[in-house]
Amino acid sequence: MTISKAAQNLINIQSSGDISGEIMELNLGPQHPSTHGVLRLKLHLNGEVVISAEPVIGYLHTGIEKECETRTYHQIFTLVDRLDYLSGPAEEEVFAGTVERLMNITVPERAQTIRVILLELSRISSHLIWVGTSALELNMSSVFMYCFAEREKILDLFEEISGARMFPSLWRIGGLARDLNPDFEEHLKDFLRDFPKLWKDLDDLLTDNYVWNTRLKDVAIIDEELCKQYMCTGPVIRGAGVPYDIRKIYPYSGYENYQFDVPTYPEGDAYARYMVRMEEMQQSASIVQQGLARLKPGPVITDDRKVALPPRRELARSMEAVIHQFKLVSEGLHPPVGEIYHCVESARGELGNYLVSDGSNKPQRLRVRSPSFSHVEVLKKILPGHILSDVVVAIASVDPILGDVDR
Amino acid sequence: MKTIEAVKSLKAKFGDVLVSELLFMGETTLEVAKDNLKAILGFLKKNADGGGFEVLMDLTGVDYLEPTKRTKVVYWLHNPENYERIRIVIFAARGESLPTVTDLWEGADWFERELYDLFGIGFDGHPDLKRILMPDDWVGHPLLRDYALTEEPVEFKHGVKPKVPSQIIPHVGRVITSWDSGVTRRSP
């Protein structure tokens, strides 16, 4: 049986009887560029080897779950956006999906397709940032530049359709706020034409790179058993060889109509997670391609007037439309009493919303089950035995977003 | 094993232990009592006859003011073989503590700390129960329904008093309003 580098380090320390020597306590973060936000790690070091680690979170706690209890359902979109700030569309999709399932609303086909396109674009942009920042931490700053330049194109696309770069806030309950611009498809095709070139560049720069391989392989191993114990999902569990993908298991927004693979690698180390994310970017680009082919003209929001605002042109002519507009804006919609859990596959894993409705116009409770929370928790288990410089790789490899962890 | 069969085998094993049982929008919710919470969760986790709900996908709480002030703790279990899910809920009165499940799932550690932090629920046998999201010296548990949400005016320019004083965010338009009145500002 092969034994990982980290376990070997721990065995060496124990057998040499060195453990009773000088133990240094080191605080990594919260203000440290390699902690991807404001994560603090309390490390106990024996020489350069980590003996124990304790992640400390809460520095970015914004109380959004509490805030949501005092807002109407339409106001919540701009709040949940800010949780996972690198893939805002996923947060919007999960919230919209939860309310739509509870109220039994059918989203028009075109809206579903546009949602899928935006979700996959945000997944690509999130993974690009991950590759870029992880490489920057290993001193490969050119990769960082390439990734951010490409992500800029995705943000430009978001800006074009909604005016906002990072958080499109395009989702509404029952569909989308507005339709795509006429030029959008053209610009998206440009992006899809250029993206494989960049992907190839990244692949050439990193996949067989000696430094990248030696730094990532056999580091921060999270196996299937650990994933079950710590509820790890997303690229982490797929990097442990389990094909667990919400898009396949509990399809939402019409994902069952798309052809795509779920890449898995059995090793469970940081390199496996890197390979998973790289292949996911390709799959996402292919899903966007299929989405473009499926785009048919049609409405982008449901015509249920108790849920969605009436079109502007009706307001001048119909008293009923004015009343609906007034009630929806001033009071909002009322889902039935009940509780429901709905989840989507965000760039980081299973992102779930648990909504408890008391029949009023504001949720009684909106719980966000964030994937990053579990992925930061598992750090305390996997870090011991690694040398300090590998800690940085380990943090990066689980891709935590602290806004999502602290909520 | 399907959720419905797991519930059947649970009843066969334990007898009449479920306080209530609900199927809503395809999600099964079982309410249990404190005495057999651990036994039932341990049984459901087992692969042989329990249903194989090996993953604790989520652990959270919902606070209620009526009929009594109490918190519903929600265990959301997931079966990694056939992707079936089941929800186990238990009500805890204010200040009541529950048995920990960290011996069943190591990862429940932080989720229980979050519940302690935001709802004030204790967990007997938890290895290190302390606040996780709020500062260590924080007073109160923010997600309780009778904990007032306040807003602070932002001083955009030094020395210039903001025009609007600090105020409690009003809950305009909520149809069921049980905690609007009588809330006081938390002293800083």
The whole-angstrom separation of Cα B35 and Cα B38 is 8
Point out the residue among A330, A358, A381 whose CB comes nearest to the CB of B173.
A330
Q: Could you tell me if A363 and A69 are in contact, meaning their C-beta atoms sit under 8 angstroms apart?
A: yes
CB contact under 8 A, B62 and A356: yes
- B28-39 pLDDT, tens digit each: 888 888 888 888
Return the pLDDT at B162. 56
What backbone torsions phi and psi does residue B177 show, to the nearest 5 degrees?
A: -115, 100
Best of B106, B119, B141, B144 to mutate (most A CBs within 10 Å, chain A): B106
Residues for chain B: how many in total? Answer: 188
Yes or no: say if A177 and A308 are a contact pair by the CB < 8 Å rule. no
Q: What pLDDT does residue B164 have?
A: 54
Residue B179: pLDDT band (50, 70, 90) is very low
pLDDT at B171: 47
Cβ distance A350 to B106 less than 8 Å, yes or no, reads: no
Q: How many residues does chain A have?
A: 407
How much is the pLDDT for B172?
44
pLDDT per residue as tens digits for the range B114-150: 999 889 898 888 888 888 888 888 888 888 888 777 7
Which domains are assigned to chain A?
A: 64-401 (1.10.645.10)
What are residue A361's phi and psi, to 5 degrees? -85, 0
Q: Is B55 helix (H, G, I), strand (E, B) or coil?
A: strand
Opening angle at CA A5, ends A208 and A131, nearest 5: 40
Report CB contact under 8 Å: B27, A340: yes
For residue B13, give the 3-state DSSP assignment. Answer: helix
B133–A61: do the CB atoms touch at under 8 Å? Answer: yes
SS3 B157: coil
Cα–Cα dist A373/B20, whole Å: 31
User: Is pLDDT at B165 greater than 80 in this prediction?
Assistant: no
pLDDT band at B74 (very low <50, low <70, confident <90, very high): very high
- pLDDT recorded at residue A196: 92
Count residue pairs from A and B with Cβ separation < 8 A: 100
- Most distant CA pair in chain A, distance: 86
Q: Is A406 close to B133, i.e. CB distance below 8 A?
A: yes
Residues 6 or more apart whose Cβ sits within 8 Å of residue A254: A109, A112, A113, A116
Residue A55, min C-alpha distance to chain B (Å)? 10
**A356 closest CA partner among A32, A28, A69:** A69
CB atoms A377 and B107 under 8 Å? yes
> What pLDDT shows up at residue A218?
85
User: How far is it, in rounded angstroms, from Cα A184 to Cα B12?
Assistant: 59
How far apart, in whole angstroms, are the C-alpha atoms of residue B147 and residue B118? 10
Which of B20, B73, B133 best probes binding to A when mutated, by most A CB atoms within 10 angstroms?
B133
pLDDT at A128: 92
Domains, chain B: 3-99 (3.30.460.80)
Q: What is the mean pLDDT of chain B?
A: 78
Provide the pairing of β-strand A49-56 with B122-124.
unpaired
What's the farthest any 2 CA atoms get from each other in chain B? 70
Instruction: Encode A318-353: b = buried (16+ Cβ within 10 Å), e = exposed.
Output: eeebeebbeebeeebbbbeebbbbbbbbbbbbbbbb
Name the band, by pLDDT with cuts 50, 70 and 90, for residue B174.
very low
pLDDT given at position B168: 54
pLDDT for A208-265, tens place per residue?
889 889 888 888 888 888 888 898 898 999 988 889 889 888 898 888 899 999 999 9
Residue of B25, B143, B174 with shortest CB distance to A66: B143
**pTM recorded for the entire structure:** 0.88
Q: How many angstroms separate the CA atoms of A138 and A391, rounded? A: 12
**Mean pLDDT for back-to-back runs of 10 residues, chain A (407 residues):** 72 68 81 78 87 88 86 87 87 91 89 92 92 87 90 90 86 88 89 91 89 87 88 90 89 89 89 91 92 90 85 86 85 85 90 88 88 90 88 88 86
Residue B184: which pLDDT band, with cuts at 50, 70 and 90?
very low
pLDDT tens-place string over residues A300-330: 888 888 888 888 888 888 888 888 888 888 8
- 3-class SS of residue A122: helix
Q: In this structure, what DSSP letter does residue A255 have?
A: G
Give the pLDDT of residue A355: 92
- Token pair for residue B45? 């986790």
Q: What is the dihedral of CA A273, A279, A281, A286, to 10 degrees?
A: -150
User: And the tokens for B65?
Assistant: 């003011």
Note the pLDDT of residue B4: 79
CA A183 to chain B, closest CA, distance in angstroms equals 40
User: In a mutagenesis test of the A interface, which of B22, B60, B83 is the best target, namely the one with the most A β-carbons within 10 Å?
Assistant: B60
- Are B109 and A228 a contacting pair at CB < 8 A? no
String of b and e for A59-83 (b: at least 16 CB within 10 Å)?
Answer: bbbeebbbbbbebbbbebbebbbbb
The pLDDT confidence band at residue B169, using thresholds 50, 70 and 90, is low
Sequence-distant (6+) residues with CB within 8 A of A269 are A216, A217, A218, A219, A220, A221, A239, A397
**Sheet order of strands, B70-78 included:** B20-24, B27-31, B85-93, B70-78, B55-64
B159 vs chain A: nearest CA distance in angstroms? 26
Spatial contact of B121 and B98, defined as CB atoms under 8 Å apart:
yes
Mind telling me how many Å the CA of B148 is from chain A's nearest CA? Answer: 10
CA gap B60, B73 in Å, rounded: 6
